[in-house]
Amino acid sequence: MNILHITSSLRGAESESSRVTNSVVAKLVAANPGATVVTRDLARDPHPQLDEAALGALFTPAESRTAEQAARVALDDALIAQVQAADAVVIGAPMYNFGIPVQLKAWFDAIARAGVTFRYTETGPEGLLKGKKVYVATARGGIYPAEADPQVPFVRMLLNFLGMTDHTFIHSPAQAMGPEASAKGRAEADATIEAALA
């Protein structure tokens, strides 16, 4: 099994989303001897955000790109190759201002490429990153019921669009609501992990 582990928290060792993803990865490795793990810490090693220069490079035919443009596209190519090779993708997605960190959004921007990870057909878009199991760890300061959750629908839409439709969300809520509520939120996440990876 090839496991791609994506973290995006700015909290380093104190990150709850990273604690959860580390636990998921450990259980996947324990259940799959010989598994390989590729870890990308997007907070410590952020991928360049999509900008005018990057977009221009992507829309320039490969044979016509400058060396600088080719180097920029190669950065995205490396991320795409990692997710293509993965059997399981484990993503840490802390909630920042009701969304995902910009570093994680930059990762999604990099791996979403028409004709490579998705394509447009006569019946609509088709995701090409199929056959992968995805685990998404969300850590948030408050409590957001499903009908009022601003983050999960967005992440789910991105994953589904790319063809990664087999996903499990692991929530660790109430992390800014005091020690008791925080501990309860962590326990909720741990219980979800146990159920998902039993």
DSSP H or E stretch at residue 140: none
What was the pLDDT predicted at 178? 97
SS3 of 75-121: the string is HHHHHHHHHHHCCEEEEECCCECCECCHHHHHHHHHHCCECCCEEEE
What was the pLDDT predicted at 137? 98
d(CA 175, CA 180): 9
pTM: 0.96
Q: Read off the pLDDT of each residue in 98-121 and give the average, rounded to a whole number.
A: 97
What was the pLDDT predicted at 143? 95
- The separation between CA 70 and the C-alpha centre of its own chain, rounded to angstroms, equals 25
Mean pLDDT score across all residues of the chain: 97
What was the pLDDT predicted at 62? 95
Is the torsion defined by CA of 123, 79, 166, 34 positive or negative? positive
| Closest C-alpha among 81, 9, 69, 95 to residue 38 | 81
What was the pLDDT predicted at 198? 86
18 or 146: which carries more pLDDT confidence? 18
d(CA 155, CA 161): 10
Strands 2-7 and 36-41, bridge-based pairing: parallel
Tokens of 62: 């490969």
**Binding site feature residues:** 9, 15-17, 95-98
pLDDT band per the 50, 70, 90 thresholds, residue 72:
very high
What was the pLDDT predicted at 118? 98
d(CA 35, CA 25): 10
What was the pLDDT predicted at 121? 96
Asked whether residue 133 carries a pLDDT value surpassing 90, the answer given is yes
**Binding site feature residues for FMN:** 9, 15-17, 95-98
The helix/strand/coil state of 120 is strand
| Domains of the chain listed by start with CATH number | 2-196 (3.40.50.360)
What was the pLDDT predicted at 128? 98
pLDDT, tens digit (0-9, with 9 covering 90-100), for 27-63: 999 999 999 999 999 999 999 999 999 999 999 999 9
- Is 40 in contact with 82 (CB distance < 8 Å)? yes
Q: In DSSP terms, which residues pair with 166 in a beta bridge?
A: 133
16 or 147: which carries more pLDDT confidence? 16
